[in-house]
Amino acid sequence: MKRASAASGIPRVLVTIPTANFTHRKVLEGILDYARIKGPWQFHLNTGDIAVQDMKRVDNWKCSGIIALSSNKAVLRRLVRFRKPTVFINPPDAGNVPPRGCVFVRRDDRNLGRVAAEYFISGGFRSFAFVGASRPAAWSDDRRDGFTTRLAQEGFTCIDYGSVTPEESADAAIEAPRLLTWLKTLPRQTALFTVKDIRGQQILSACLDASIRVPEDLAVLSTDNDPVLCDTVSPPLSSISLDGENTGKLCAGILDDLLHGKKVEPVVSIMCPRIITRRSSDVTAVEDPLLARALDYVRAHLDEPFRIGKLASETGISVRTIQLRARKQFGHPFREEIRRLRLAKAISLLSNTDLPAADIAAMCGFCSGSHLSRAVKDAFGYPPSTFRPKPT
């Protein structure tokens, strides 16, 4: 494996990232920003879907290292043959071991699904639906599996929209009637998770045509947090931010280490989902007015120890009524719903503030920072640091 060192001059870096996707554009921004601060680097940029026949032109450029995001296995195999330090972002065949001198940087798509499920469960929803990508994709399947697995752990099922035909995939107008008909079949107060903002936009458009109220009848959460889509649709679309810019900086830093002969882990996971709540999901799905009153009180006092007797006294609702109606609405004790609300607020604070974990724990009714850490890890499989905004 040939390496470029600081003594060999300015690194010449090939970056191939198709930038039609918002998160991919942010990844490129992060790479360029890293080079601006740490460089200089020279770049050979390919911002479309690079083809195998373009490789000779790339080889002639004599790059020092490569950062590549592509689902084309033939392209990735060809890049490996250059025998240059290479960072592959979300490569296909996730089970493969990276070739020598290469690093795989992968997003945990199953965790994205788990985060979405926990978000909706904590909102009180009991009916769930999923819409995947318009073309077959492993990452879409992983997000679905993470979503449905987390729901199943709580005894819930998920209504899956299913696959899209090639004709529908090529033209959203062909798919629209079937999507609209399917949305009409969903029970009222269903929470729908979809894998891309563009799919979320299509769903909200269909809801307008079908007079489905969002979020009152159908709450919608998508993925990517592209402001061009999320802030301009009606209602504004809630979405999971994938933090592409910091992913780009991470990848550039890994390549920098490779170029300088430093030891780097061969597989690096990126796990930084943050939910940006907008109007499309901003509702708590509890129709029972007495139970809704009790939950409103709890949300306003999450930092206090939970005593159901005090709750009953403050709300004028008997303990027995609260317990029976909670069991009927949620299928589990009211105390368990309090735990969900505490956890949801904690995740929001971890994702959107730099408050110390101990302060967040106190604000959400956890005994300590370590108690909060255990609760988050039990629910999501990852520690609280996973949800922290990455430093810029």
In a domain, 309, yes or no: yes
Q: Report if residue 2 sits inside a domain.
A: no
Domain count, the chain: 3
In a domain, 57, yes or no: yes
243, 389 contact by CB (below 8 A): yes
Band of pLDDT at residue 3, cut at 50, 70 and 90: very low
First-to-final CA distance of the chain: 32
Q: Which of 93, 110, 109, 89 is nearest to 19 (CA)?
A: 89
In this structure, is residue 39 part of a structural domain? yes
Q: How large is the average pLDDT for residues 108-125?
A: 87
Residue 17, classed as helix, strand or coil, is coil
Distance CA 33, CA 138 (A): 30
How much is the average pLDDT of 123-136?
A: 90
pLDDT in tens, 248-261: 999 999 999 999 99
Tokens 């290469």 correspond to what residue? 102
Edge-to-edge, what's the strand order for the sheet holding 190-194?
Answer: 159-160, 127-131, 190-194, 218-224, 238-241, 274-276
Residues contacting 323, CB < 8 A, separation 6+:
308, 333, 334
| 49 & 161 share domain | no
pLDDT of 1 > 50? The answer is no
Range of the domain at 64: 7-106+244-271
**Concatenated DSSP letters for 270-318?**
E---EEE--GGG-------HHHHHHHHHHHHTTTSPP-HHHHHHHHT--
Whether residue 40 is found in the same domain as residue 90: yes
Instruction: Name the phi and psi angles at 135, rounded to 5.
Output: -130, 150
- Of the ranges 162-176, 201-215, 224-238, 299-313, which one carries the lowest mean pLDDT score? 299-313
215 & 114 share domain: yes
Q: Which residue has the higher pLDDT, 343 or 42?
A: 42
Please give the pLDDT value at position 272: 62
Are 166 and 196 found together in one domain? yes
Q: Are strands 159-160 and 102-107 parallel, antiparallel or unpaired?
A: unpaired
Residues 236 and 115 in one domain: yes
| Residue 183 DSSP SS3 | helix
- Half-sphere exposure of residue 157, counting CA atoms within 13 Å on the CB side? 4
Structure confidence at residue 232 as a pLDDT band (50, 70, 90): confident
For range 320-349, the mean pLDDT: 81
Q: Radius of gyration of the chain from Cα atoms?
A: 23
State the CATH number of the domain containing residue 253: 3.40.50.2300
Q: Which two tokens stand for residue 285?
A: 């799905």
Q: Is residue 71 included in any domain, yes or no? A: yes
Q: State the burial class of residue 250 (Cβ atoms within 10 Å of its Cβ: 0-12, 13-18, 19+).
A: buried
